[in-house]
Structures are given as structure tokens and as C-alpha cells.
Amino acid sequence: MDISDFKISCEELEQLMPVLEKCDPVWSQFLQRQIVLGRHYPKEAGCVREADDQTHMDMFFLLGTTITRPDRVEGVSNLEFLPDYHAKGVTFYESVLNQVREAICGKNGINRGERQKIESTAEAFITTLVPIVLSTLQLPAAISGAAIVIVLLISKIGVPAFCESTETAS
């Protein structure tokens, strides 16, 4: 399953904001600025406007900005030199994929009963998986928002599909 083009609408992200704020208040502020930026300057925020008039954010672009801009510097002075945040996000995701898969899908990971419970609501999904990904990857506080983005990526396909699709990767 190719997830390199996963996007989530800014409206969905805004609905999840109360949950995301509980997980990482500082990163949530960064995300709110990215959403506003995406509505006005889609390219700079890794967004596209879809036919349904919603703005959709590239999840790997978001992951790339999260891991490479821990200081949360706002604004882009020169679009010509905009880093390839999408590629950085994909590279980071691929580098941690086996660890995340083992923590969620492995022998000591989340059992099937728990998977069904956490997939019942977005809040349960996020609040259960973010700490697992954080503790597994032992991310520095400055880029802890990367765990949230990884969990949002997994939420787009679901835990069973994530486990199945990454089984050959490990």
C-alpha cells in the first residue's frame, strides 16, 4: 500500500485539535499556524485545494516540517528554496516504520481486542497510540509532534491495514 500521497483535510485536523492539544500543546499551535498558512498559501504549507473546496494537507510534508523545524519558525522568505519537506517526511517515516510496526503490531503490541476499542473513536485512537509511538521512538521533545503525525497516518488506513501492509517491510 502506497501511503506517500496521504492527505488529511484541514477541517478534519481542526476537529481533532482538542485531542491533539492534550497530546502536545506546543505542536498543536504549530499545526494551527500551518492550517492557516495552508488556507492562504497552500504550497508553502504542503496543502492543495480539492474540488470540494476543502484544503488538504500532505501528511508527509507535515511530518517533514515537524522534524526539521523544531524551532517552529514561521514564514517562508523565498519559495524558490523551499525544502522538500515531503521527501524528508517520507524518509523519516520509512526509517522508523519497523519500530512503530513492532510496537503496534508485534507480539507485545496491541492485541486485536484493544485495536477494536481504540478504532471506535479518533480520540481513543490518538490518545492510545501517540504515547506508544513516543515511547518507542524516544523522540526529543522538540519533535514530539512527529508521533502525532505518524498516528494520523496510521489512522487513515487503520491498524489492521497498517499491520498487514508493513508486514513485508520488517
Q: Kindly report, residue by residue over 46-70, the tens digit of the pLDDT.
A: 898 887 788 999 999 999 999 986 5
Q: Where are the beta strands (DSSP E) in the chain?
A: 7-9, 47-49, 55-58
More confident residue, 125 or 112: 125
- SS3 (DSSP) at 84: coil
Kindly report which listed range (54-63, 73-82, 89-98, 108-117) carries the lowest average pLDDT score: 73-82
pLDDT of residue 159: 86
- Give the span between the Cα atoms of 85 and 75, in whole angstroms: 14
Q: Is residue 79 part of a domain?
A: no
Q: Is residue 44 part of a domain?
A: yes
Q: Is residue 149 part of a domain?
A: yes
Q: Is residue 27 part of a domain?
A: yes
Rg (CA), the chain: 15
pLDDT of residue 110: 79
Residues 6+ apart with CB under 8 A from 128: 110, 114, 118
140: which DSSP letter? Answer: -
- Give the span between the Cα atoms of 27 and 77, in whole angstroms: 22
Q: Is residue 161 part of a domain?
A: yes
Q: Is residue 39 part of a domain?
A: yes
Q: How many helices (H) and strands (E) does the chain have?
A: 8, 3
Name the nearest CA neighbour of 67 among 103, 93, 34, 101.
Answer: 93
Give the range of the structural domain holding residue 92, as residue numbers without chain letter. 7-72+85-169
Q: Is residue 78 part of a domain?
A: no
Q: Is residue 77 part of a domain?
A: no
Please give the tally of structural domains in the chain: 1
* Cβ atoms 143, 24 nearer than 8 A: no
Confidence label for 71 from pLDDT (cuts 50, 70 and 90): low
